[in-house]
Each structure stands twice: as C-alpha cells, then as structure tokens.
A and B are shown apart, each in its own frame.
Chain A
Amino acid sequence: SAVISQKPSRDICQRGTSLTIQCQVDSQVTMMFWYRQQPGQSLTLIATANQGSEATYESGFVIDKFPISRPNLTFSTLTVSNMSPEDSSIYLCSVAGRVSPSEAFFGQGTRLTVV
C-alpha cells in the first residue's frame, strides 16, 4: 500500500479565509483523489487530480471554491477558498493501489472547523 502524508491534521479557521491542504505520496501515482466528509455523512469525491492537467471536478464542486494543484506525480494540494461554516468537514486525499488500481488508500485526513 502507498504511504500518504497529509497535513495539516486539523485546523480551525475564520470564515472568509482559505486553507491549503497538502498530500504527499511515497511513490509516483497517476491520479490522486480529494474527498470531503461532512459531519455525520459519508465520503464525497470532490475532484480527481492528474499530473500535468486540470483537475476533474464532480458535480457540485467548482475550481474557484476548491482549486487543486498537482505539480508532480507524488504531491497535490487542495485549497478550500473563502470558507464558511458549511465547509467544516474532514478532507481526505486518496490514491489507487499499486498492485490493484481498484483499491484506494487514504491519507490521515484534515479536520477543518470554520468559525
């Protein structure tokens, strides 16, 4: 399985500000995925980040709100912009398994609270 380092682990932010979450993988991966888990809810895919191209966003998520960078095959960032209390969630990055691409492994997650 891939080793995925995600930071920060948690943060408390003021509304109207932005937070950038980083995700570092110990090996090169083609696709990285960003998920959101709102309180009491399951995981929802925000976008798929491919190296060298723009991220692909799921319905209900837009680049202006969740800009993503993917400068190389081991690193990605997700920014939560102009935050409101509704953005309080756990944010998770994920990569596919090396042996079996259908498996997915997750970073430790970022617990974001917007006040």
Chain B
Amino acid sequence: EDKVVQSPLSLVVHEGDTVTLNCSYEVTNFRSLLWYKQEKKAPTFLFMLTSSGIEKKSGRLSSILDNKELFSILNITATQTGDSAVYLCAVTEYGNKLVFGAGTILRVKS
C-alpha cells in the first residue's frame, strides 16, 4: 500500500530558529513530491520536486529530494510566527493522484 510518512508530527520552536521537516514515501508509480503549507483550510503550494539532489529554494524555505532513499526534507531558516502552520507532504502518482502524509504541525513562538 502506498504511504507517505512525515516527521515530526509536531514541533515548537522560537522565532529565528531553523527547522527541518522530513517526508519519506513508498509509492508504486512515483511521479513527483509536493510540499504544501496549510494555515486554515486550503493547502498552499510550496514546492514540487521531481529530480533527486536538486535543491529548490523560495526565500527562507528550501527543499530537496532523494529518490534513491525515498525521502525529502523541507528546511525553514530564520523562522517567523507567520510560518506557524501544518506542512503537508504529498506524492503524485501517475494519473495525478496525490497521496498525502499526516502533516507536521509547526508552531513558532515569538
């Protein structure tokens, strides 16, 4: 059965800290790995990763994929209270079906 596992389940840090969120996966027909930020209801797209070893960056956020060891990490540097959210990892299979992990709840304290 396809599965996506995220760790940690929750995390509390102080502003300015750096955090690393983990996502491992086992899927039959891997196509890409996606990271989302969910603050209220709708997940907001962050990154899509398809190639192993190529880092993607957007401001203080960065992510990389290892498709041999089947995991990805999401880094957030110099965290701010606005980074508090649930971070979701999902894997796309052929047919565009998304399999989501349970998410990591991040709380950044001021």
Instruction: Report B-chain residues with C-beta under 8 Å of the C-beta of A45.
Output: 97-99
Known: A100-B48, A102-B32, A103-B48. A108 touches B41 (CB 8 A): yes
Known: A42-B103, A43-B88. A104 touches B42 (CB 8 A): no
**Smallest distance from the beta carbon of B104 to chain A beta carbons, Å?**
10
In the complex, B74 has a CB within 8 A of chain A:
no
Chain B: residues with Cβ within 8 Å of the partner, total of 22
In the complex, A66 has a CB within 8 A of chain B:
no
User: Which chain B residues numbered 62 to 110 have a C-beta less than 8 Å away from chain A?
Assistant: 88, 90, 92, 95-103
Question: Quick one: closest B residue to A100, CB to CB?
Answer: B48
In the complex, B7 has a CB within 8 A of chain A:
no
Q: Chain A interface: which size bin?
A: 20 to 34
Known: A100-B48, A104-B92. A48 touches B42 (CB 8 A): no
In the complex, A92 has a CB within 8 A of chain B:
yes
Question: Quick one: closest A residue to B31, CB to CB?
Answer: A102
In the complex, A111 has a CB within 8 A of chain B:
yes
Question: Quick one: closest A residue to B50, CB to CB?
Answer: A102
Instruction: Report B-chain residues with C-beta under 8 Å of the C-beta of A57.
Output: none
Contact B97 A102 (CB under 8 A): no
Instruction: Report B-chain residues with C-beta under 8 Å of the C-beta of A1.
Output: 45
**Smallest distance from the beta carbon of B8 to chain A beta carbons, Å?**
15
**Smallest distance from the beta carbon of A95 to chain B beta carbons, Å?**
9
A7-47 vs B, Cβ < 8 Å mask (1 yes, 0 no): 00000000000000000000000010101000001111100
In the complex, A101 has a CB within 8 A of chain B:
yes
Instruction: Report A-chain residues with C-beta under 8 Å of the C-beta of B96.
Output: 31, 33, 96, 101-102, 104
Question: Quick one: closest A residue to B96, CB to CB?
Answer: A96
Contact of A106 (CB < 8 Å), options: B32, B43, B101, B102: B43
Cα distance A110–B95 in the bound complex, in angstroms: 25
Known: A107-B42, A108-B42. A41 touches B102 (CB 8 A): yes
Contact B100 A42 (CB under 8 A): yes
Contact B98 A33 (CB under 8 A): yes
Interface residues of A (CB under 8 A from B): 1, 31, 33, 35, 41-45, 48, 90, 92, 94, 96, 100-111
